[in-house]
Structure 1
Amino acid sequence: MGRVSSAERRAALVRAALRVIHRDGVNGATTRAIVSEAGMSLASFHYAFRSRDEMIREVIAFVVQDEQRVSLEALDPDADIRSAVRAGMHAYFDLLRAHPSREQALQELVQYSLRTPGLEHLPRAQYASYFHTARVLLERGAEVTGVEWSLPIEQLARILIAITDGLTIAWLADRDDEAAGRLIDFAADTIGALAVSRPLVPREVN
């Protein structure tokens, strides 16, 4: 590999790690396997990351940030809240269909970390990033459609992530696009029903 920046090196290693985890599982995602997949030297890995733990956190952040980006881009300021939720979830689903191995790798990371002593903190951090992304999307959706949420945003974010988790696992298992679409419609109806119109602010009278 030619001369690349630190950011490019990190991104290449993250993409390689996702491929290795999908192909060989988390146990097989050693630093040597990852650098071999990326076409780099072991020294390149240690130049980019201080530890495998740090690299795994970067893998999670890479995927979650991409999900947030496509979902935010799908928000239409002229849409109602149900349509906004539906569009955001469809944007996520399109990304899932395009890169199923990425989501499968994240699912495996959760299960592996939960049963591996010393890695119990990783699932907590992974889901904290999911909940943060859900809060951002719900807050932005409410802002652009002129509504407020009838439940605390933290509670609503957990509901959205629970539905999205179910959608992801079920689709990875059966690849049933129509069933996934019906679940997205149900989620949009359910979450949309939890929105209320934002009260009008009285205009000052001179």
Structure 2
Amino acid sequence: MARMAATERREALARAALVVIAREGVHAATTRAIVAEAGMPLASFHYAVASRDELLRDVVELVVGNQDAAAFGTLELDAPDIRTAIRGVFGSNLDILRADPARQQAMFELTQYALRTPALDDFPIAQYGVYRDLAVRLLEAGAARYRVTWDVPIPDLATLAVALSEGATLTWLATRDDDTTERLLDLAADAIAAHAIPHQETP
């Protein structure tokens, strides 16, 4: 294969690991399986990454980065109000889920694996910290765009948004019921938007 920089090789390995995990589960994501999926020799793994667990962190960052781009893209649309904008963010996450359910299932499995692995005990905290920070940025951007103030601390509201989104995701994975999940996201958007206080316009 063509010579690759270490950073490019590492990204390719992370993508390959995600494919293996989504297809067969975390237990199947051995270094040999990952390099085989990436079409690389085994030595390439140790050249680019210190350990398998280190690569699993890259997998999470890869997936979260995709969610980040999709969510911020939704806020760029001309939604008429903050509630519609919030519903659009939830909807974009559901679209990503429906397009590739195995990827999100892999994320849930990675979280459970980390909770049982002492070397990765900081992994779930970091993972959900990324989700919360993304939600904070979305709420701040929404407040500026739609001229509202949140009546509770933004970090707390962001944590609620993440919990609602993750719950809806697990509900859809378990049931594959689009209608029920869409209604659940309507209620989630209502719950978040209820904390938005419109700015008073000066004469």
**Range class of TM-score, shorter chain:** over 0.9
CA shift for structure 1 position 54: 2.2
Judged with a 3 Å threshold, the aligned counterparts in structure 2 of structure 1 residues 199 and 49 are, in CA distance, closer, same or farther, namely: farther
The answer to whether structure 1 residue 13 and structure 2 residue 13 are counterparts is yes
Post-superposition Cα deviations, 1:140-166, rounded to whole Å, max 9, x if no partner, equal 111211111111111011100110111
Cα contact 1:68–1:137 (8 A) shared by 2: no
The whole-number CA distance in structure 2 between the counterparts of 1:164 and 1:120 is 23
Larger relative helix fraction: 2
Cα contact 1:77–1:144 (8 A) shared by 2: no
Q: Report how many aligned residue pairs link the two structures.
A: 202
The whole-number CA distance in structure 2 between the counterparts of 1:195 and 1:110 is 32
Q: Partner of 1:176 in structure 2?
A: 177
Q: Partner of 1:37 in structure 2?
A: 37
Post-superposition Cα deviations, 1:78-111, rounded to whole Å, max 9, x if no partner, equal 5310000011111111111111111111100111
* Structure 1 unmatched ranges of 5 or more: none
Q: Partner of 1:160 in structure 2?
A: 161
Query: Structure 2 length normalisation: TM-score?
Result: 0.92
1:132-147 matches, within 5 Å, as: 132-147=133-148
The whole-number CA distance in structure 1 between the counterparts of 2:79 and 2:182 is 22
Q: Which amino acid aligns with 1:118?
A: A
Over the aligned positions, Cα root-mean-square deviation in angstroms equals 1.7
* Structure 2 unmatched ranges of 5 or more: none
Q: Partner of 1:68 in structure 2?
A: 68
The whole-number CA distance in structure 1 between the counterparts of 2:118 and 2:51 is 17
The whole-number CA distance in structure 2 between the counterparts of 1:81 and 1:72 is 14
Cα contact 1:78–1:145 (8 A) shared by 2: no
